[in-house]
A and B are shown apart, each in its own frame.
Chain A
Amino acid sequence: MSSDPKIEGYKFKPGYSGMAADTASDQTMFKGVHWGKAMMWIFLLSDTFIFSCFLISYMKGRASTPVEWPNPSEVFALNAFGVPVPLLLIAIMTFVLITSSGTMALAVKYGYERNKKMCGWLIVATALGGLTFVGMQVFEWSKLIHEGVRPWENPFGAAQFGSFFFMITGFHGTHVSIGVIFLFIYAYKTFAGHYDEGKRGWFTTMKGDYVEIEILGLYWHFVDLVWVFIFAFFYLW
């Protein structure tokens, strides 16, 4: 990667001097990056702001209530062989999501190597991991709802707990669900050979290319990334 294929004679410089040159070049700023990838990153940055709003309001709410906050390792405990294991389901969900993130990373790699079969099957594996995650979240929600947790009250402590829980995990679960739908669509497109032939997608003049798998991968890794923060701040804290 020494020169931008789009701009003749533009030499890439490394590091911060390269950043200054790219930004001040009076041309495209993100050189050597597919426009779809740059747009996905900017979307993810704005999504970061939304999730940060939720996490900040959660921390503010939790820090400022004089009522005792429910102990998450007891609330989210699960009985395994008659013994309550703290955060068992959450730990399994974390491992499932990391596994699906790993398969996605490998799908991107095999996509760039034009290995259609491996890429497609790894995307399917990622989608199945996502489905498992959403399924376990549904189980967790119904369990808590049966125990009387509502957005306005719960039997464990501070009333704000329920509203933050449903809002944050619900918004994250929505992201996972949308991701799973797109994973299945992209798995179909991969197997059908749209990225090998350069077939156009819907509502776009962009020709199909394996860079789309990387763009989808960015979204999926972001979902995993958000879960890292939710796991730390909501479940462990």
Chain B
Amino acid sequence: MDEIKKEQTTTHKIGIYLWIWGLLFVLSFFSYMVDWYQFQGLLRWSLILFFMFLKAGLIMAFFMHLYWERYALVNVLLWPMTAIACFVGLMVAEGKYTLFSRLFYFFVGGGQ
């Protein structure tokens, strides 16, 4: 009886995997279409990020079974990744400042 119970917790219906698989294909196709139609500017970045996070979330939640794991494991994994996302944001801002100061000193000469 215990054996049967254990089996049920570790295996999932095949339909879930096939659905996620199909969704990943569709999302990849859409993110390729972003480049195909040459969307530019804010629309391009927001679409790329949207499809990226959706795909990453689906892979982690269902293929890597995080959806079914206990919160002790899920939170140990997701909070450091959130911190990294903040780090990325900080460094993008820093990069823009570096570019600004490079151009400023190259062409304006530091305002002298």
Contact = CB atoms under 8 A, between A and B. Distances in A.
Q: Do A and B come from one complex?
A: yes
Contact of A22 (B11, B36, B49, B70): B70
A206 interface: no
A45 B45 contact: no
B56 to A, nearest CB: 5
Interface string A62-88: 111110000001000000000000110
A66 B11 contact: no
Interface string B59-91: 110111100011111011100110010011001
A144 B102 CA distance: 30
A120 B73 CA distance: 29
B88 A55 contact: yes
Nearest to B13: A109
A6 interface: no
Interface stretch (A26-34, A145-153, A190-198): A26-34
A18 interface: yes
B9 A1 contact: yes
A226 to B, nearest CB: 10
Counting contact residues on chain B (CB < 8 A from A), the size range is 35 or more
24 contacts: A5-B6, A19-B70, A19-B72, A22-B71, A23-B72, A32-B70, A41-B77, A45-B76, A52-B87, A56-B87, A59-B92, A66-B99, A66-B103, A73-B35, A101-B24, A102-B21, A105-B17, A105-B62, A221-B59, A221-B60, A221-B63, A224-B63, A225-B59, A229-B56
B92 A63 contact: yes
A61 B94 CA distance: 10
A213 to B, nearest CB: 11
Interface in A220-235: 221-222, 224-225, 228-229, 231-232, 235
